[in-house]
Amino acid sequence: MMEIPLDRFEKIEQKADFLHDRYNLPSSPQAEDLERIAVQEFGVVKIVKSPILHPRIVNHHNDFYVFYGVFCKPYERMLLGEILGHFALGHLETTSASISKIIQEQKEAEYFSAYLNNISPSRLNDLKWDEAFASLNPLTLAANWLKKGRHIEDLKEQGVYHLLR
């Protein structure tokens, strides 16, 4: 299992502390705080939340769009923290496609999120499991399947559906 190198921990914490100070975040920021940082600090054009979406960042003509869906509300700010981590740590600037690099960047983004949101990495892991179980709930899956057409129409109305294909 790949670990984060010690020299990266300090950099990750410095970047998270910088955002905390610059945006005067509370010790446990809310999802809205993290969305504001994405827009103001990293130039994200639009943040789209829909239950049928998997987390992704799309660069369309140098405009960034963030797409995500969550089933477990407490996990939302952790996921947004990970997305901010990818921006803050420069992961979007690299084009390496090696599996080890992708795993390393994901671990760094998760640590960034835990540090930014003032929770332990083990608690973040617990929330990931909660999210995974919530997303596999048969009632949730059925409801989203039945509403998929409406969700797609919502994405089209927002003018972002074409970015997901």
Per residue in 44-68, pLDDT (tens digit) is 999 999 877 888 999 999 899 999 9
Give a yes or no: residue 122 inside a domain: yes
Q: What is the mean pLDDT of the chain?
A: 88
Paired tokens of 138: 């048969």
Phi, psi dihedral angles at 114 (to 5 degrees):
-60, -45
Q: Is 133 within a domain?
A: yes
Bridge-based pairing state of the strands 63-68 and 44-49: parallel
**More reliable by pLDDT, 54 or 16:** 16
pLDDT at res. 159: 92
State how far the Cα of 147 lies from the Cα of 153, in Å rounded to an integer: 10
In a domain, 1, yes or no: no
Q: Which two tokens stand for residue 125?
A: 């892991």
- pLDDT over 90 percentage in the chain: 52
User: Mean pLDDT throughout 13-22?
Assistant: 97
CB contact set of 5 (below 8 Å; sequence gap of 6+): none
With 50 as the cut, is the pLDDT of residue 158 above it?
A: yes
pTM of the predicted protein model: 0.87
Does a structural domain hold residue 45?
Answer: yes
Starting at the earlier edge strand, list the strands of the sheet with 56-60. Answer: 44-49, 63-68, 56-60
pLDDT tens sequence across 87-143? 999 998 866 678 888 889 999 999 999 999 999 888 888 888 888 777 777 777 777
Greatest Cα pair distance in the chain: 48
Residue 51: count other Cβ atoms within 10 Å of its Cβ: 15
The count of other CB atoms within 10 Å of the CB of residue 151 is: 16
- Whether 58 and 47 have beta carbons less than 8 Å apart is answered as no
Query: What is the domain extent for residue 114?
Result: 6-164
What gap in Å lies between CA 43 and CA 147, rounded to an integer?
A: 31
Looking at the structure of the chain, the number of domains it has is 1
Q: Identify which has the larger pLDDT, 126 or 32.
A: 32
Confirm whether 136 is domain-assigned.
yes
Inform me whether the pLDDT recorded for 32 exceeds 60.
Answer: yes
